[in-house]
Structure 1
Amino acid sequence: MRRGMLSDLFLGVVAKQLTLVETITERSNQHEFQGTKPLRRLLGDEDRRGIPTRFIWISGEQEALAEDGFMSWSNVRKGKPRAPEYHLYYSGNSVTEMMQAGDMLFLALQRDGSVLVVITPAGTIQNQLMWLFGLEEQRELGFTYQEITADRGAELDFAARYILDELGIDPEEPEADRLDGLIEQFGLQFPTTRVFSDLARASLPEVSAADDPDQALIDWMDREEQLFRRLERRIVAARIGDGFRAADGADVDGFLSFSLSVQNRRKARAGQALENHLEAVFQAQGIRYLRGAETENRNKPDFLFPGQAEYRDPAFPAARLTMLGAKSTLKDRWRQVLSEAVRIEEKHLLTLEPGISENQTDEMQAKKLQLVVPQRLHATYRPAQRAWLMRLGDFVPLVRSRQQI
């Protein structure tokens, strides 16, 4: 599958950990950063006024705020017989008011000349952005610069697109014409998720879950997401074209309801698609399983191995039972899995979320929850975490060995 590159979107980025004096607090009303060398490498030596800027503060599940503003870059000693001194000025807004000392600030120059500013506390999203932009862990308080070129920038694969989606960025699709041909049969109606999942797999006949379950899962999910977004774009464009009108004027409630339904559909379909493709992996591997089995207190783990009858049989050894939760994103919802199968002491949870924080994975280990992550996403985690992570290709033989005893 052809994908775009991060360099199609950005020219470069700087990042720094914010100090107290740089945040908007009672101690500081400054709306500027000193123009250090990394900033000069990013923005150049020419004055630039009123740079269109998108400010985003993001942290955790559904905790995000965005506002448009501007920045200005200038040499305050221009025309004077002294060394240049640059300052980066920015407009105060609801996002910059959220800044706290210790937060990480990412300032990315986009290809159209505008700037994207993202502010995030320490945690998963900060890890994801560091990986996306190819930045090393910040050990100093000053700005760090990273040029984004075709040979050094990230490919817009599943992980990169996941992170960009968190920022509200929807890259152009290199295979748009081919994808449009695949979804033409649906017109302006969404098919069931099962139908979409089947189509995604059928469109990639060269992908084999029997040979490489990790790569197959990522490729199938990536393709289904591509297909879904192309069809969604058509359907949303048609609905917007119809307008939102009520008898007394603009139908604001109708617009808000439609917007919410778009977001909810994305989340619901992603989780269902993941389960569909995992089911196809287990079938290709010849593993016995039951999807949506019921355990104690009407809990329903996503996958139970080998099945519900064995789980409910007190004579069946607990050591031969396995459960797998499946969540396309985790945030703080991973704890839901802990109570889903009391007989199984060590539980497994598969996710497609890149770069989860060490605090979260440390807590998972303490709770005897093993995280399963497709191999391609391991690079988004820190080295200390990778040794503990399990690939889908490791999970499959574990389950098979328990079924062959």
Structure 2
Amino acid sequence: MTIRRGLLSDHFEGVAVKCLALVDANPESSNQHEVTGSEPLVRILGHDDRKFPKGGADHRFPATYIWLGGEQEALSEEGWLSWYDSRRNRPKRSAEWRLYYQGNAVTLMMKPGDILFLARKLDGHLLFIVTPDGGTIRNQLLWLFGLDEQIGMKFESQEIGGNNDAELDFTARYVLDELGIEPEEREADKLDRLIEKFGLKFPTTVVFSGLARSSLPEVNAHDAPDEALLLWMEREEQLFRRLERRIVAERIGGGFAMDDGADVDGFLAFSLSVQNRRKARAGAALENHLAAVFDAHRIRFAHGVETENRNRPDFLFPGQAEYRDAAFPTARLTMLGSKSTLKDRWRQVLSEATRIDQKHLLTLEPGISENQTDEMRTKLLQLVIPRKLHQTYRPNQQEWLMDVSGFIGLVAGRQGE
């Protein structure tokens, strides 16, 4: 069973991006909440009767305002955006298009130098996405939408489709999830048949990971470890989301009511448990599939064993006994941390396995900022990224990154000495 995926054009018509100027981000500088438009933005939002109602002075788009910062920094609010020609009543002058935005918790976070992404969905709904310049999420959005890294003070736009369309693989879905978008599954019926036996209960992650791998018998972890890891993770994520949808629907259908009104605390606790389960199971799944990759290459390792000070690195090569043996050459020891998403948590691995100076950390997070990777280098932390994700990083970062195949070769060489 292969994986059939959707496309970015299933969700978006186009996107525009610009660096916010003082007058864009600070209403006190321009006396109103406006971003100056330009021809690239006109191509996305339109300027004729095909887009605007007859005789209308402007057009209001339903909008979701999103702020994406660093670790745990995310806000969103529903509202609208108004698109209008400020010179509409002066026909002898050329049009001057402006985008009027609402004041809300997201726009209050904006400051000059931040990056604004304006994405138009197929139904006309707009995403007003603001993120700090130079951050990881900025890199991820530029990659997802196929935009140039050089962002100016005027809008640049990109229509989605044709040659500029992305298949919604594991990496693309990762970024869409940051925007609160969950693509529909092209093979929902097949996935549902695979999870039917679980009813309305989650199996252990070991069982779920095994099911994901067995459903893709053509995947060869020995010949293509980088590809296998991503495909297995993608399939398990698909299966998990399908089963989660059933379980959550059943719980919501039961309602959150109490004798004296709505059980708000119960609803919030349930919502939090859903989010926490997603994060925990993603990390466990990554460890399960990494272990399967190492097994396919007959790499000796210990998983989650203690080193010192109660630290437990995710993977220790060749094992705990060798690590604790002072006579065993330190140069032949290797440790690998694994985190499905990194954010600012990469520093946690620096204190693990103190005998080993050069640490390794595998993650599936695309487009990590240069500031982060530069600091990793100074801390002697080598980032390991599946080969396909290297394209989301800048060229000078790609030269430094290690892929899964390269890491296996390193460890195999040390174990063969």
Task: Give me the TM-score of the superposition, normalised by structure 2.
Answer: 0.95
Q: Hey, what does 2:307 align to over in structure 1? A: 295
Q: How far has the Cα of 1:83 moved from its partner? A: 2.3
Residue 323 (1) aligns with residue 362 (2): no
**1:32–1:87: 8 Å Cα contact kept in structure 2?**
yes
Q: Hey, what does 1:66 align to over in structure 2? A: 76
Q: How many residue pairs end up in the alignment?
A: 405
The SS at the match of 1:297 is coil
Q: Hey, what does 1:55 align to over in structure 2? A: 65
**1:24–1:96: 8 Å Cα contact kept in structure 2?**
no
Q: Equivalences for 1:62-101 in 2 at 5 Å?
A: 62-78=72-88, 80-101=91-112
Q: Which runs of 5+ in 2 are unaligned?
A: 53-57
Q: Hey, what does 1:103 align to over in structure 2? A: 114
The separation in 2 between residues aligned to 1:29 and 1:95, in whole angstroms, is 18
In structure 2, do the counterparts of structure 1 residues 29 and 262 end up closer, same or farther at CA, with 3 Å as the change threshold? farther
Residue 199 (1) aligns with residue 179 (2): no
Question: Which residue identity does 1:55 align to in structure 2?
Answer: Y
Q: Hey, what does 1:403 align to over in structure 2? A: 415
Q: Sequence identity of aligned pairs in percent? A: 67
Q: How far has the Cα of 1:22 moved from its partner? A: 0.9
The separation in 1 between residues aligned to 2:88 and 2:112, in whole angstroms, is 32
The separation in 1 between residues aligned to 2:250 and 2:61, in whole angstroms, is 33
The SS at the match of 1:70 is strand
Q: Hey, what does 1:306 align to over in structure 2? A: 318
**1:197–1:273: 8 Å Cα contact kept in structure 2?**
yes
Q: Equivalences for 1:6-405 in 2 at 5 Å?
A: 6-24=8-26, 26-46=28-48, 47=52, 49-78=59-88, 80-122=91-133, 123-405=135-417
Question: Which residue identity does 1:401 align to in structure 2?
Answer: G
**2:27–2:33: 8 Å Cα contact kept in structure 1?**
no
The separation in 2 between residues aligned to 1:21 and 1:73, in whole angstroms, is 17
Show structure 1 runs of 4+ deviating over 4 A. none
Q: Which runs of 5+ in 1 are unaligned?
A: none
Task: Give me the TM-score of the superposition, normalised by structure 1.
Answer: 0.98
**1:213–1:393: 8 Å Cα contact kept in structure 2?**
yes
The separation in 1 between residues aligned to 2:196 and 2:96, in whole angstroms, is 57
The separation in 2 between residues aligned to 1:343 and 1:35, in whole angstroms, is 57
Question: Which residue identity does 1:286 align to in structure 2?
Answer: R
The separation in 2 between residues aligned to 1:363 and 1:323, in whole angstroms, is 19
Question: Which residue identity does 2:363 align to in structure 1?
Answer: T
The separation in 2 between residues aligned to 1:29 and 1:267, in whole angstroms, is 43
Once superposed, what is the RMSD of the aligned Cα atoms? Answer: 1.1
The separation in 2 between residues aligned to 1:139 and 1:261, in whole angstroms, is 39
Which sits farther off after the overlay, 141-150 or 52-61? Answer: 141-150
The SS at the match of 1:296 is coil
**2:116–2:131: 8 Å Cα contact kept in structure 1?**
yes
**1:348–1:370: 8 Å Cα contact kept in structure 2?**
yes
The separation in 2 between residues aligned to 1:338 and 1:167, in whole angstroms, is 31
Q: How far has the Cα of 1:139 moved from its partner? A: 4.4
Which sits farther off after the overlay, 31-40 or 296-305? Answer: 31-40
